[in-house]
Amino acid sequence: MKIVSTIEEVRAQVKEWRKEGLTVGFVPTMGYLHEGHASLIDAAGENDKVVVSIFVNPMQFGPNEDLDSYPRDLEHDAKICREHGADLIFHPTPQEMYGESFYSYVDMNVLTEELCGLSRPIHFRGVCTVVAKLFNIVTPDKAYFGQKDAQQLAVIKRMVKDLNMPLAIVGCPIVREEDGLAKSSRNTYLSAEERKAALVLSRAVFLGKKMAGEGERDAEKILAAMREEIEKEPLAKIDYVKMVDLETMQQVKVIEEGILTAIAVYIGKTRLIDNFMIEK
Ligand code: AMP
């Protein structure tokens, strides 16, 4: 496995693979890898070669967000990538990605204006721009994203469709800790007490999923039960608890297939997300 930091090195490697007729799978990440990321690398193993990018993208962080404190550990990340059969890590600097000045953006409306977009207004513009750049650099056949960030997955799928990008987007299931908490690099911010409190997210998600599974079709009933569950936890503060149509991100009143139930909750200062889908 190679670790490179320039765009030129990635292009040269992919060009070599292409000459041999090999397919390329791509897993974009911000590093501090855990089993959630590893599951995407495993899934990308269906291609001949696997590229993982590790880049904490400044453009997707708001001014008061955690860009500076976001956890980083390249050595540990390289170990996970190696163990899961990745062939190339692309680990650029912000300077390599954005140079001295940068004027171009990939922006989207509708899908990015709801859920996380409400409390993180510039987030998805940063995500779309960096992912589009990474797609242009790596030119993968398929790229792999976690259902953990369900809105991001929907946004990327839509960007690829709208802009005719020549690759397939593959969504992968949420990987959880044994006690239910969705794995996240941001879980490292939690104190022992907050870590326990954070379980309220998965408890609410499992409760909502159970109610829907048992036939409840009234969205507000399920959401109210989920909110009530979260509000029992004194360290938790709800950002949103919503049910939306995945195609439009608009809220729904009645549950049907293809509906996303998504939550964002502050545990102390740490904002965590979780969700479940009513499968089609
Ligand atoms: P991040 O490094 O947080 O930007 O995440 C990189 C990719 O890993 C995104 O596609 C995430 O959705 C995915 N991911 C993060 N956590 C999980 C998880 N617990 N289960 C599945 N995928 C995940």
236-245 and 88-90 strand pairing: unpaired
Nearest residue by C-alpha to atom 6 in ligand 1: 29
pLDDT digits (tens, 9 = 90+) for 162-221: 999 999 999 999 999 999 999 999 999 999 999 999 999 999 999 999 999 999 999 999
> Which pLDDT score is estimated for 257?
87
- Give me ligand 1 centre to Cα 173, in Å: 10
Does the Cβ of 37 fall within 6 Å of ligand 1?
yes
Same domain, 30 and 165: yes
The reply to whether 280 falls in a domain is: no
**Residue 47 belongs to some domain of the structure:** yes
| 84 carries an active-site annotation | no
Provide the number of structural domains found in the chain: 2
For ligand 1, the distance from its centroid to the CA atom of residue 271, given in whole angstroms, is 15
| Ranges of residues in the chain whose predicted pLDDT is under 70 | 280
Examine the domain organization and report whether 137 and 249 are in the same domain.
Answer: no
Side-chain half-sphere of 11: how many Cα atoms within 13 Å? Answer: 6
Q: Are residues 190 and 168 in the same domain?
A: no
Domain that holds residue 92: 2-172
| Domain stop point among 172, 195, 216 | 172
pTM for the predicted model, two decimal places: 0.98
Question: Of the residues 172, 199, 233, which one is the last residue of a structural domain?
Answer: 172
**Angstrom distances, CA of residue 36 to CA of 26, 80, 101, 166:** 15, 11, 34, 26
Q: Is there an atom of ligand 1 within 6 Å of 183 CB?
A: yes
Q: Examine residue 278 and state whether it is found in any structural domain, yes or no.
A: no
CA distance 159 to 55: 20
For the chain, give the number of residues.
Answer: 280
Cα separation, 87 vs 89, whole angstroms: 7
| Res 225: pLDDT | 98
Closest residue by Cα to atom 15, ligand 1, is 36
In terms of DSSP bridges, do strands 236-245 and 259-267 run parallel, antiparallel, or are they unpaired? antiparallel
Q: How far is the CA of 116 from the centre of ligand 1 (A)?
A: 15
Q: How many whole angstroms from 20 Cα to the centroid of ligand 1?
A: 31
**Tokens of residue 96, six digits:** 């390599």
185 close to 164: Cβ distance less than 8 angstroms: no
Q: What is the pLDDT of residue 280?
A: 59
Q: Which of 171, 96, 159, 89 is nearest to 131 (CA)?
A: 159
Active-site annotation holder among 37, 76, 84, 91: 37
Q: Is the domain of 219 the same as that of 137?
A: no
